[in-house]
């Protein structure tokens, strides 16, 4: 594990920030979410556009590129639509994000994902963990949720999809871990 310093945020050998080991709840939630965001990027690093389009196993069409796009949609949905109450369209032509556009490569998808992450950070900056928003659609549309709930849900969402990303990466080039 990386050396811990109080002045510089500690980093894992692979470059990801170590989630806070102490601190308040908000710091921990945001730290773990950022760790999982970093894991997604790590799973895609060093791969070309053809590799990130490879599916893990038939009949699934799940790919690393599809996961990046899906998580851009997730970021937009939960932070802009639910937390901030904004009426914004989906990021991509397929609201799930999984459909692949032949013209869109990994760099473009990661840039879009990074913009969605940054916009979410901006919208959450002045809000407390108890502040609420409303789920826009799905089986519990209209339900009120706290920012705390949204952060926990996104940690779970990224952790689950990073498990998928780990299997996809292993299938592509044998790289495991992280």
Are residues 47 and 64 in contact, defined by beta-carbon separation less than 8 angstroms?
yes
Q: What is the DSSP string of 12-74?
A: -TTSPBPPPSSS-HHHHHHHHHHHHHHHHHHHHTT--TTGGG--SSTT----HHHHHHHHHHH
Predicted local confidence at residue 168, as pLDDT: 95
Q: Residue 6: its pLDDT value, please?
A: 52
Count Cβ atoms below 10 Å from residue 159 Cβ, excluding itself.
Answer: 14
Walk along the chain (178 residues) and give the pLDDT tens digit of each residue. Answer: 555 545 567 899 999 999 999 999 999 999 999 999 999 999 999 999 999 999 977 889 999 999 999 999 999 999 999 999 999 999 999 989 999 999 999 999 999 999 999 999 999 999 999 999 999 999 999 999 999 999 999 999 999 999 999 999 999 999 987 7
With contact defined as beta carbons under 8 Å apart, do 98 and 74 qualify?
Answer: no
pLDDT at 178: 72
pTM above the 0.95 mark? no
SS3 146: strand
ω into residue 10 within 30 of 0, thus cis? no
The per-residue pLDDT for 152 is 98
Q: What is the pLDDT of residue 176?
A: 87
- Site of tokens 């950070």: 121
Give dist(CA 169, CA 145) in Å, integer. Answer: 34
């Amino acid at each position: 594990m990386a050396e811990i310093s109080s002045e510089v945020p500690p980093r894992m050998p692979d470059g990801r920030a170590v989630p806070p080991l102490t601190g308040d709840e908000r710091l921990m939630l945001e730290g773990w979410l950022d760790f999982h965001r970093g894991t997604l990027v790590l799973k895609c690093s060093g791969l070309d556009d053809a590799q990130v389009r490879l599916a893990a196993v038939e009949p699934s069409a799940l790919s690393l590129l599809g996961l990046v796009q899906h998580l851009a949609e997730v970021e937009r949905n939960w932070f802009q639509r639910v937390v901030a109450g904004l009426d914004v369209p989906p990021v991509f032509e397929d609201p799930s994000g999984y459909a692949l556009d032949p013209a869109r490569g990994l760099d473009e998808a990661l840039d879009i994902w990074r913009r969605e992450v940054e916009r979410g950070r901006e919208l959450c900056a002045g809000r407390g963990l108890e502040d609420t928003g409303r789920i826009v659609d799905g089986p519990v549309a209209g339900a009120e949720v706290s920012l705390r709930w949204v952060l926990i849900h996104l940690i779970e969402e990224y952790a689950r999809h990073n498990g998928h990303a780990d299997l996809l990466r292993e299938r592509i080039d044998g790289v495991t871990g992280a």
